[in-house]
Every structure is written in C-alpha cells, then in structure tokens.
C-alpha cells in the first residue's frame, strides 16, 4: 500500500517529462529567442559575413586609385585648374582625383607634408622659402610634376611714385591674407630691400583709396596671371602706372623674368612699350613618395593620364592658360617627380605644348 502511494509522484513526473519532449520548442525557448532578437536589433550588430564582404569591396575599390589634390581658395585660379584636371584624368575605378579646397596655394605645402590623403598640390614656388628652417630637406620631400602657369608681379602706383625706391615708408596693399600677393609680395619686397607700410585689405578697397588719394595708399601689389581684369576694365587718371621690377640674382632661386605690355593693358601701357617684372611659378607638385610604394604608383598613374590628355585641357571649355603650358618647363628650386621625368623621356618628341 505505502509502496503504491510513493510511486505515484514518480509516475506523474515521468508523464510530464514525456509531454515536454513531445514539443520541439517550449515557451521558455521562445522567450529566450525573442530576447536575443530584441538585443540584436538594439545593438545594431554587424550583418552576417557574406554581406560584410559585399560592402567592403566597393570601399576598397573606390580608395585603391584615388589621388588627393590640394587646390586652393574657392575663388582662386588654382582650384579651378585642379577641378579641370580631375575632370580630364577621371578613369572610373582606375583613377579618381579629388580636388580639395584649402586655405590657398601658399599653405598647400603644409597640406602636402602633413594632411592625410593629400598626394599632390598646387603651390607657388616661393612657398618653399617658409619651410627651409622647419623642414631643412623640404626640396627632397617635394617634387614637381608640371609648371602650370606664371603669376606676374604687378606693382601699380599713384602718379607721384616714379620708382620702387619712392615707395619706402609708404602704404602698400598686398591684398587679403591667404592670397598669393599677401605671401609672395612682402617676401619679394624684403629681397629687394624695400621697407614699406604693409596693408592687407581687399584690392578693390585699396584701388578705390588710391583713385581718391585717401588713406595714404600709394600702391597695390597683385600677383596673378595677366591680364588682370581690374586693370583691363578699370579707368585711371593719367599718371597711374606699373613700376618696372628688374630681375636680378636676389630673385633667381624661385622667380622668372617676365614683362607687361600693351597687349595686356592697352589703357595703361603704350604700344611698343613694355614693363619689366618677375613672375612666381605656380606649380603642380607631389610628395616624393618612395618608388616602391602604393602612393607613388597612384601619382605615377595621375601623371600618365594628365600628360597624355593635355590636348583635351587645351581644347574648348577649359581655361585658356592650358594652351601655353609646356610639359618640359622646369620649376626653380625643385626637381621633377621621377615618374614625370620618365614619361617625358619616353615621349621626347611630343612633350611640348604650344607656347
């Protein structure tokens, strides 16, 4: 009797166990599964591996042959040149050039040396002067690809100023900070031993002060490619003029001799006359990557596409200055990027553009 009663709980337990085994998924299992699903959605865990591979491939492809090109200020000529180059050399996944808006060509050396993703830059050749003390081997770290165009020095003065010496102690405007004039102008004046009262205001304002004889403004210094629209369209009283700036050994390390003439400024220079001046080369340069590196290969492909397609840049729809570019022209103070020199050597009879 007692043995029979004691065995009932065991029979009940066995029946319950059999019942549980008959269902493949219990309520507890469902709740646990739901909890895991809820947690997964909250944490945003990554998708399964096959999907990860599909996402990673385009990322690798788009970065494989991308070249970062530091251009300059949005309103300047260098960023326009950078954008036009990017348009012409574009080759889908095989080459993608990204023009980057920066603080200006005089600061692009800094971008090229230290900014991640920048392989090439448009600079003024004398920008290197600022880095000689900070980076003693700067001329080994940077090599040029192309001498893009010269930016002529324009020293425009009031009638009472007859020579550069007359500017000593006078107020001279070098345009807004960040422009080529604001950097190269004072540097050139320093080399010429000209001590002037420097101002850095927009040239439109300074020109108006000169016209009216206000504020003691004696001269404005432009450094940009001729002809400058302000002088072509502007109307000035007799006596306003450009001063000659002779080329000498104080300027030969970074600058080139140039002239301004009546073809450039018919309202300011008489037919048959010309004004001596100097030009600051604006150059396309690259970081001097080791020849066995991936970054070197990217720049080398950029060089090949750019040099091979220069004729497109010299056609309609692009800046007219492309027509005067000579692939073989050198840049004072720098050596040529090895891949660029190799391209020129292999195309020795067709490397020059019209001059």
Does residue 30 carry a pLDDT above 50?
no
> What pLDDT sits at residue 59?
79
Beta strands in the chain (DSSP E): 66-72, 96-101, 120-124, 142-157, 171-173, 197-199, 217-224, 241-242, 256-261, 274-287
Does residue 12 carry a pLDDT above 60?
no
Does residue 39 carry a pLDDT above 60?
no
Q: What is the mean pLDDT of residues 319-332?
A: 90
Q: What is the pLDDT of residues 216-227, one digit of tens each?
A: 999 999 998 899
Residues 6+ apart with CB under 8 A from 291: 338
Q: Which residue has the tokens 């269902």?
A: 23
Q: What is the dihedral of CA 172, 177, 179, 182, to 10 degrees?
A: 30
Does residue 11 carry a pLDDT above 90?
no
Higher-scoring residue by pLDDT: 54, 225: 225
Q: What is the pLDDT of residues 267-321, one digit of tens each?
A: 999 999 999 999 999 999 999 999 999 999 999 999 999 999 999 999 999 998 8
Higher-scoring residue by pLDDT: 115, 38: 115
Q: Provide the mean pLDDT of the chain.
A: 84
Rounded to whole angstroms, how far apart are CA atoms 254 and 130?
12
Does residue 61 carry a pLDDT above 50?
yes
* 61-148+283-346 against 150-281: fold identical: yes
Q: What is the mean pLDDT of residues 38-50?
A: 40
178 close to 205: Cβ distance less than 8 angstroms: no
Query: What are the structural domain ranges in the chain?
Result: 61-148+283-346, 150-281
Tell me the percentage of the chain whose pLDDT exceeds 70: 82
For residue 227 the two structure tokens come to 């002809």
Q: What is the mean pLDDT of residues 322-346?
A: 93
349 pLDDT band, cuts 50/70/90, is low
Confidence (pTM)? 0.72
Rounded to whole angstroms, how far apart are CA atoms 111 and 119?
9
18 pLDDT band, cuts 50/70/90, is very low
Establish whether the linkage from the previous residue to 41 is cis, with ω within 30° of 0: no
CATH code for the domain defined by 61-148+283-346: 3.40.190.10
> What pLDDT sits at residue 41?
34
Fold category of 150-281 in CATH: D-Maltodextrin-Binding Protein; domain 2 (3.40.190)
> What pLDDT sits at residue 130?
81
């Amino acid at each position: 009797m007692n043995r029979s009663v004691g065995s009932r709980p065991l029979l009940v337990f066995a029946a319950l166990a059999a019942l549980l085994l008959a269902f493949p998924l219990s309520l507890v299992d469902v709740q646990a599964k739901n909890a895991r699903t809820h947690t997964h959605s909250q944490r945003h865990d990554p998708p399964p591996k096959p999907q990860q591979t599909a996402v990673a491939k385009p990322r690798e492809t788009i970065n494989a042959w991308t070249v970062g090109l530091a251009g300059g200020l949005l309103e300047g000529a260098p960023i326009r040149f950078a954008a036009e180059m990017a348009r012409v050399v574009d080759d889908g996944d095989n080459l993608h050039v990204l023009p980057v808006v920066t603080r200006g060509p005089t600061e692009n050396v800094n971008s090229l040396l230290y900014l991640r993703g920048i392989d090439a830059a448009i600079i003024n050749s004398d920008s290197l002067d600022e880095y000689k003390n900070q980076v003693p081997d700067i001329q080994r770290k940077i090599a040029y690809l192309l001498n893009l165009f010269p930016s002529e020095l324009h020293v425009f003065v009031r009638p009472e100023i007859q020579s550069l010496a007359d500017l000593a102690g006078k107020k001279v405007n070098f345009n807004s900070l960040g422009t080529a004039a604001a950097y190269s102008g004072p540097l050139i004046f320093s080399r010429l031993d000209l001590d002037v009262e420097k101002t850095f205001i927009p040239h439109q304002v300074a020109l108006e002060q000169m016209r009216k004889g206000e504020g003691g403004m004696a001269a404005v210094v432009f450094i940009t490619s001729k002809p400058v629209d302000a002088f072509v369209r502007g109307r000035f009283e007799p006596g306003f003029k450009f001063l000659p700036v002779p080329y000498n050994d104080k300027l030969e390390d970074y600058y080139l001799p140039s002239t301004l003439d009546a073809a450039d400024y018919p309202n300011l220079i008489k037919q048959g006359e010309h004004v001596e001046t100097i030009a600051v080369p604006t150059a396309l340069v690259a970081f001097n990557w080791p020849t066995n590196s991936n970054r070197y290969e990217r720049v080398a492909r950029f060089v090949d596409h750019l040099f091979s397609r220069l004729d497109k840049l010299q056609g309609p729809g692009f800046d007219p200055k492309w027509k005067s570019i000579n692939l073989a022209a050198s840049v004072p103070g720098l050596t040529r990027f090895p891949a660029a020199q190799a391209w020129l050597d292999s195309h020795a009879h067709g490397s020059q553009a019209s001059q």
